[in-house]
Amino acid sequence: MNLGDFREDYRRGALDRAALNGNPLAQFESWFHAAAGDQSQSRWRKIGIALFKLWSAVCNHRPADINAMTLATADQHGKPSTRTVLLKSMDERGFIFFTNYGSRKGRELAENPNAALTFFWPELERQVCVAGMVTKLPEAETEKYFKSRPRGSQIGAWASNQSEVIPDRAALETRWRELEKKFPGDIPLPPNWGGFILRPERIEFWQGRPSRLHDRFLYSQQADGTWKIERLSP
């Protein structure tokens, strides 16, 4: 399969050092709001994003969730794995997501807490890459989020031993129905389910540019907690 003809010349924006916030988490929040379309933007950029979304709808292509991110983990032997998960919150501590602690990613993070995230927003031709250490979210915060989930998702967290082999879908659905009867009222937090915080040590912001001369800026956290910003070659 030859994919050499699948090319895109990025022309929707630029990224200058002077425009960067000194705090990468604040810079990420700014870009995230832009991806959500709720930040002040130029008239032409708004029109471009609107046309992209209209084209996706006409072609029956559902735009990707803007909070979708690729999570990369590795086991104790350094063997990597990736999957797409959803960012559920971000604060001064870092990036927060939830999962089954017994899943492949949960087990790998227990063995090796180094992880990386990648966000890609094609309509803005932007990418953010994050790397750092992962720790578990305090149980009280996990329980608060769990109770905010739809009832079906709460039951699903109990029903699925994520990443384990099952005989067929019927077994999973049978288990879900059993738990629905077991928990007619409030559903307790499963003991093997919860949140993680990735505390960033490096964050790179990538803006697509023509002729593959992309703008890339890397934030690296220093020993005193400040952030060093450097432009990278594309």
Active site residues: 212
C-alpha–C-alpha distance, residues 210 and 234, integer Å? 11
Cβ proximity of 112 and 75 under 8 Å? yes
Closest CA to 37 of 25, 48, 27: 48
DSSP 92: T
Decide: 144 and 158 in contact? Cβ < 8 Å: no
Dihedral sign for Cα 63, 68, 70, 76, please: negative
User: Can you tell me whether residue 169 is helix, strand or coil?
Assistant: helix
